Chains A and B, each alone.
Chain A
């Protein structure tokens, strides 16, 4: 069940709004509309759904309309056309009183430049959303304290925002948004003003918090690395339109058009792709049924120099090299057990490419991908390199 459903949401700034909408309907671009009507298209018929507990990243360069789009979601900017459903209520058409109720209880927002109130203490800042609901002092400060503790600022209650570093200020922003216990959090370039190391730390922390809180988060960013790192789903925007929505892998491996392709060209794939994406079905022999002869035959047939050994339940036991197998045959050894080696380093299907790269460099055999003891696939060194180069066929049907 989607928590948020956006349908045909548009925002046109300026005059001739009706004409501009008509032109957009005819498929005219933002620039053509500007030329013909003098109106600027902020968002052009955006439609998407956000599932509960998902981090939905809206990503685009400056001027792509992403900040306008997020402000349409809580109606800081009134939409020109279209609908925003949250729990089946249409935000775009509700009256001011209902809008306030939704803003107070269902959505809260984290801002790029933190937007903390400088004349309020950290605790009072975190209390703001509760205070305007008229919640009693005692209860609101209890809730605000709890959410400040969640972000690790339990000891800074009486400080003022100017006394904190940027990263800490944004934690306050996060705590203020969490204090209302909203279903949906809108994060507008929340980490963009922070320096890279702090940014990464905050991303990790957000992911940690998300593990336990399971909020629905709509995260705006211009940084593709950030989008790929934290997004469950990514929507790419250009000129006010959403050009592609998909999982990070889909965006990366199957760019919908030239624009997206150009965007992802520079991405460090090693930080996104996992073992799952590049593993191959392994050739194996069964330790209970087969001996060195079968192992050697299979290796010769496939043109490989080693083969993995499993039991009947596909539990990985080890591997056998072609040299060892032929020596064993000459010496009439019939069991694989005695010639099997077990020193192959293993990875899981979620291991990132950059980690695999290190391992594959030092491993004499293809790397087995193992989950709960079972052999799922193998990764050959060539696959790692071609995936990093962005040329491989990869597996995108993630479970």
Chain B
């Protein structure tokens, strides 16, 4: 009696998913192929372009931006200069630029997709109740799993890396956008309405500005998650610092692995402080 499961056949869940993925891959090839080719080419051009800029110029620009974004303080600027010089010195500059372009593009796409979905969620209870479990699913599924369909759809390289990163990194932006808009005080929303705002005016003139800090916190998380995908995506051939980490893992080369890892940490800290400063800037104390 306790072994009743023995009499029930195993559900072919795995093969269903495989079949489904295969079906999508075949049926939407007309969509995936141009993305893979044209978008992939554009991406590589962009990365190459970044890598072609002399490192000194990049470091200078970053340092100046850091100085102003951190409220004219030298800490972040100094850190950026030292950190980036170190990466350059270690011969990882090109990898750094590749990783950065991957993170940048993946994050931008996440924000472009995530913010409108978050707005939709905040406006509709139905949308919220449908999207929330999907987000939970996307975030709790181990990130490695996304690599498999990513390869099926886009083969290997940067594009599937960005695809996997999108799925993994978008949820915080969606969640925080929803949260930020829902947290706008009832009275402010009423004030916007009482003066005769249209829905769009209410959104752009009141709700989004009020939710900005929260949304930026979500975007910051998205960027950090996208960065963490840099290493994982290297398993399906995404270039950059992650690939260095992966290859040193395969060769059990602690030193090289550590240096590449350090490069990721430096990139992470700079990106993190930059995105955070956007959310704090102009934030009048409330």
Contacts and interface: CB of A to CB of B under 8 A. Distances in A.
B198 A132 contact: yes
A199 interface: no
Contacts of A133: 196
B196 A132 contact: yes
Contacts of A109: 190-191, 194-195
B209 interface: yes
Interface in A109-162: 109, 111-113, 115, 117-119, 128-129, 131-133, 160, 162
A76 B196 contact: no
B251 interface: no
A287 to B, nearest CB: 62
B197 A132 contact: yes
B201 to A, nearest CB: 5
Interface stretch (A5-13, A40-48, A100-108, A295-303): A100-108
B48 interface: no
Given A109-B191, A112-B187, A132-B201, A119 B282 contact: yes
B286 interface: yes
B196 A101 contact: yes
B195 A115 contact: no
A133 B195 CA distance: 9
Given A111-B190, A117-B206, A132-B205, A180 B286 contact: no
A277 to B, nearest CB: 38
Given A104-B195, A132-B201, A160-B284, A115 B190 contact: yes
A138 to B, nearest CB: 19
A233 B192 CA distance: 29
A108 B192 CA distance: 11
B194 A108 contact: yes
B188 A108 contact: no
- Which of B190, B192, B210, B212 has the largest count of A CB atoms less than 10 A from its CB? B190
B163 to A, nearest CB: 36
Nearest to B197: A132
Contact of A117 (B190, B193, B198, B209): B209
Contacts of A104: 195-196
A74 interface: yes
Given A115-B190, A117-B206, A129 B196 contact: yes
Interface string A48-82: 00000000000000000000000100101000000
B285 interface: yes
A160 B282 CA distance: 11
Given A112-B187, A115-B188, A117-B188, A76 B193 contact: yes
Contacts of A128: 191-192, 195, 205
A103 B196 contact: yes
Contacts of A160: 284
Contacts of B185: 113, 115
Interface residues of B, number: 22
Interface size class of A (residues with CB under 8 A): 20 to 34
- Which of B187, B188, B191 has the largest count of A CB atoms less than 10 A from its CB? B191
Contact of B190 (A76, A119, A129, A131): A76
Contacts of B195: 103-104, 108-109, 128-129, 132, 176, 180
* Secondary structure call for the A interface: mixed
Contacts of B201: 132
Contacts of B197: 100, 132
A100 B191 CA distance: 13
Given A109-B194, A119-B209, A162 B285 contact: yes
B205 A103 contact: no
Given A119-B209, A160-B284, A162-B284, A111 B193 contact: no
Nearest to A71: B190
A224 B187 CA distance: 24
B270 to A, nearest CB: 27
A102 B195 CA distance: 9
A128 B194 CA distance: 11
A103 B194 CA distance: 6
Contact of B191 (A71, A101, A111, A119): A111
B193 to A, nearest CB: 6
Interface in B184-237: 185, 187-188, 190-198, 201, 205-206, 209-210, 212
Nearest to B212: A119
A100 B187 contact: no
Nearest to A131: B205
- Which of B187, B209, B212, B282 has the largest count of A CB atoms less than 10 A from its CB? B187
B118 to A, nearest CB: 19
A216 to B, nearest CB: 16
A274 to B, nearest CB: 36
A76 B206 contact: no
B187 A111 contact: yes
A30 B140 CA distance: 48
A114 to B, nearest CB: 8
A133 B201 CA distance: 10
B197 to A, nearest CB: 5
B202 to A, nearest CB: 9
A312 B193 CA distance: 63
Contacts of B286: 118, 162
- Which of B185, B193, B194, B197 has the largest count of A CB atoms less than 10 A from its CB? B194
Interface of B: 185, 187-188, 190-198, 201, 205-206, 209-210, 212, 282, 284-286
26 contacts: A76-B190, A100-B198, A102-B196, A103-B194, A104-B196, A105-B196, A108-B194, A108-B195, A109-B195, A111-B190, A113-B185, A115-B187, A117-B191, A118-B210, A118-B286, A119-B210, A128-B195, A128-B205, A129-B196, A131-B205, A132-B196, A132-B197, A132-B205, A133-B196, A162-B285, A176-B195
Given A109-B195, A117-B188, 20 more contacts: A76-B190, A76-B194, A101-B196, A103-B193, A103-B194, A104-B195, A107-B194, A111-B187, A113-B185, A113-B187, A115-B191, A118-B284, A119-B209, A119-B284, A128-B192, A129-B196, A132-B195, A132-B196, A132-B205, A160-B284
User: Top 9 nearest A-B pairs by Cβ distance?
Assistant: A104-B196, A103-B196, A115-B191, A109-B194, A115-B187, A129-B195, A100-B196, A160-B284, A132-B201
